[in-house]
Amino acid sequence: MTKIDKVLYTGRTHTTGGRDGAARSDDARLDIKLSPPGSSQPGTNPEQLFAAGWSACFIGAMGLAAGKRKLKLPTDTAVDTEVDLGTTDGAYFLQARLKVSLPGLDRELAQAIVEEAHQTCPYSKATRGNINVELSLA
């Protein structure tokens, strides 16, 4: 396990009620209702939040990978992330798919950027070896 030498940022939230509750960040920039996946109740769920966070982080990691190549990511770069909540033998698990769009980049170059980002993105590191993750180019 890698220990962080220097903390750059700490996200802090206060959550009540679990999947039927609410979450608020200490700076009040995040203030959301939570609802179970697939329900018609107002609010989002942890899987959607995880997908959004991972996508945003992954785009940042791709930007670093592109920068090493003296490139900028296309302005319409996007990551469509799906996070599944499921069960196997009665235990809950997650799995994910990240579909990356890097319009205008050569496919081989785009694939290299995606692969490097997957090695450096903290979300990818946190999930590596723990959940099934599929990466693809749009």
* Bridge partner residues of 132 (DSSP): 95
Mean pLDDT of 66-95: 97
Give the fold, CATH level 3, of 1-44: N-terminal domain of TfIIb (2.20.25)
Q: Above 90 in pLDDT, residue 1?
A: no
Largest CA distance in the chain: 48
**β-strands 78-88, 91-101 pairing:** antiparallel
Give me 101's structure tokens: 């769009």
113 pLDDT band, cuts 50/70/90, is very high
How much is the pTM? 0.94
Domain 46-137, what architecture? Answer: 2-Layer Sandwich (3.30)
- CATH 3.30.300.20 residue window(s) in the chain: 46-137
Q: Write the single-letter amino acid at 82.
A: E
| Chain region(s) in the chain for CATH 2.20.25.10 | 1-44
Give per-residue pLDDT as tens, 51-62: 999 999 999 999
Q: What is the mean pLDDT of the segment spanning 18-44?
A: 96
